[in-house]
Structure formats: structure tokens, C-alpha cells
Amino acid sequence: MQVFFGLNTFPKHYASSVATIGVFDGLHRAHMEIIRNVVQRAKELNTHPILINFEPHPKVIKGEMESIGGILTSPKEKMKILKNSGLEAILFLNTDRELLDIAPEDFVKTILVGHIRVKELIVGFDYRFGKDRSGDIYDLKKFGKKFGFNVNIINPIKDSNFMIKSSRIREHLLKGNIKEANRLLGRYYGITGFVVRGEGRGRELGYPTANLRLTYKHKLVPKSGTYLTLSHFKGFYRYGLCNIGYRPTFEGTELSIEVYIFEPIEGELYGTEMEVFFIERMRDEKKFSSVEELKKQIEKDRMEGLKLIESIKEEREVELDVIN
């Protein structure tokens, strides 16, 4: 799978492709169904399956990030998730004011037809495009007829009678409903960061932690609390706990992300990139009356986490296939 950033980098030999287009934040189960249809249709037509994406997220350009709480998937995460999807190429369009202000018909004529020259476009039922998202699937079908490409619409994909949408997943994560978010995603939700030096309190307590600094500043961080996690670093996957919060026992004022790995780790992790996948939320963040009380709670969390791992060992292999 090839990846291109910017319209002018996209090769001409991908003309007459079957494409899908959208923000695809989260690459959840409904998104993956659209992509599956793109790959299948491209095989039928003996052409290239491609995905057209936007980077950064339009909400970043509009200054509306706070309204959604953060981004579910960075470009790097999207590339990793899609590497075995069957897509031949991903094109990241450079999202700027000029792109966001283009009229729906001009967007189709200039970008989809003029530059990319799509043969067929497959999108979800709620796809919107153009200035102020004023274009819809009916406009898209009309422009398809006018400019000579086919348009296929994928019906809603539901879970428990509710549509699977990125906004619903964000809502679950911000409320700490990690298992519900994972179910809609079809995999564990994860964050990525570099291990940086902290205050060393975890080591003093007997539970050394890796302090993470996010690599993607717009990434959505789940609700504060303690989670059972699966971390990926230095080529290994290891279970552990992740505490997200402000460390109220120590009068902390800045949000911290600290990861404790159950198995002993050889050597230092400072500067190491670590992916942390959230399996289950175990409890809220709490201010303890003493350090000893905190240590007892951490040990209780550790024992509970180890028990939970035993109950998900069969699931583990499936999830690793998804996130590798």
C-alpha cells in the first residue's frame, strides 16, 4: 500500500480507480465495511482500490477541536490499521481553508474528476462534502452522472440498533465506556507516546511507571481513571495498567498518562515509543489519604488486572491480529 500526502503527489497511473473519500476518524467497523466494498469492487473492475482522506481533521482548521474532544486516529495509526486492508493507496488531502470553502460541484470537478479521475466512488449514506458540508449523496449521484463516474452508497451499519459513528465512539471514550468504544471500533482503542522522565514516584512506590507524552497532539485521551491495558514497545506486547489523571494524592495539576507493566522490563524506556491499548476501565481516579493507602490500591488493581487477563486470553490473539 502506497501513501501520498498532497494532491500533486498522486500518480497518474491510479486513474480510473474505485475510491472512497472521507475523514474516517476511528476507522471503525462501519468505515471498514465501506473499505471492504471498495476493495471488492476494484477486483471486479480490475482496477485500483484507493482511499482519499483529509489531514488535518477539518475541525482542526475550523478551530472546533474542543467540540469533539479529540481525534480518534492519527495518520500514522490509519496507515497501520489499513496496511493489510487490500487498499493499494491512501491519498491524504491537505486540509486548509481553500479546500474547505470549495463548492460541492467544484470539489467533484476539480479534485475527484480533474486530478484523481475516479471511475467509481463508494461512500456512506451520510457522506457530506464541499463548503459547509452542503453537498450530500444525492448531489454526488447527480455530479457522477454529469462527469461520468459511478456512485455507490453503503447503508448504515448498526450496533444495538444504533448507527456506528465516530461521534458515538468519542462520547463513550470521554465517559470512560472503553468496552463499548472498543466494540464499535472492532479493536482496542489506543494512544501512542514517547516515554519521558517523570518524578519517579512510581518507582519509589515499588510500581515503576512509564510516563507518556503523546506523539499526536490532537489525540483523544479517555476519561481519567485506571485501565487494564496492552502496551506495545520494542517489538513486544505487554499487559499492565494505565492511570490517566492529575495525581490528586500528590496535588498534581497537569494531566499525566502513566503506564505500569506487569512483567519486569530490562533496561530504560526513556525515548521509546509506546502504544497503549485500552482493554477495560477499572476505576475512577481517587485522592488517597496516604501513600500507603495508594500502594494498597495499586496492588489491588494489579491483582484484579491479572485476573481479567486470564479471562481474555482467547480474545487476545484476535485483538493482536487487528492491531499488528
**pLDDT band, residue 204 (cuts 50/70/90):** low
pLDDT of residue 295: 87
In this prediction, what percent of the chain has a pLDDT beyond 70? 92
Query: CB-based contacts of 33: which residues, under 8 Å, 6+ apart?
Result: 154, 157
> What average pLDDT score do residues 124-146 get?
97
Q: Which three cell numbers stand for residue 6?
A: 498532497
Mean pLDDT of the chain: 92
pLDDT for 167 beyond 90 = yes
Name the CATH architecture for the domain at 2-162.
Answer: 3-Layer(aba) Sandwich (3.40)
Mean pLDDT within 210-234:
96
Q: Which of 280, 278, 265, 253 is nearest to 202 (CA)?
A: 265
At the second CATH level, the architecture of 187-323 is: Beta Barrel (2.40)
pLDDT for 320: 46
Chain segment 79-118, per-residue pLDDT in tens = 999 999 999 999 999 999 999 999 999 999 999 999 999 9
Stretch 297-311: mean pLDDT, rounded? 92
pLDDT at 317 over 60: no
pLDDT classification of 197: cutoffs 50, 70, 90: confident
Q: How confident is residue 321, by pLDDT bands cut at 50, 70 and 90?
A: very low
Domain regions of the chain by residue span: 2-162, 187-323
Q: Is 222 left (phi over 0), alpha (psi -120 to 50) or beta?
A: beta
Mean pLDDT of 223-249: 92
236 confidence band (pLDDT: 50, 70, 90): very high
Tell me which DSSP letter residue 22 carries: S
Q: Looking at residue 16, what DSSP letter applies? A: T
pLDDT score at 311: 83
Which pLDDT score, from 0 to 100, does residue 252 have?
62
pLDDT single digits (tens) 21-52: 999 999 999 999 999 999 999 999 999 999 99
**The pLDDT of residue 185 is above 80:** yes
Residue 318 has pLDDT above 60, yes or no: no
* pLDDT number for residue 291: 82
* Over residues 114-132, mean pLDDT: 97
Q: What pLDDT, in 10s, does the model give residues 59-83?
A: 999 999 989 999 999 999 999 999 9
For the stretch 216-225, pLDDT in tens is: 999 999 999 9
Asked whether residue 322 carries a pLDDT value surpassing 50, the answer given is no
The pLDDT value recorded for residue 123 is: 98
Task: Give helix 166-175 / helix 178-185 axis angle, nearest 10°.
Answer: 160
Predicted confidence at residue 314, as pLDDT, reads: 58
Q: Which of 188, 288, 270 is nearest to 228 (CA)?
A: 188
CB 187 within 8 A of CB 323: yes
Whether pTM exceeds 0.85: yes
DSSP string of 199-238, one letter each residue:
-SHHHHHT---EEEEESSTTBPPPPSEEEEEEEEETTEEE
Q: How confident is the model at residue 177 (pLDDT cuts 50, 70, 90)?
A: very high
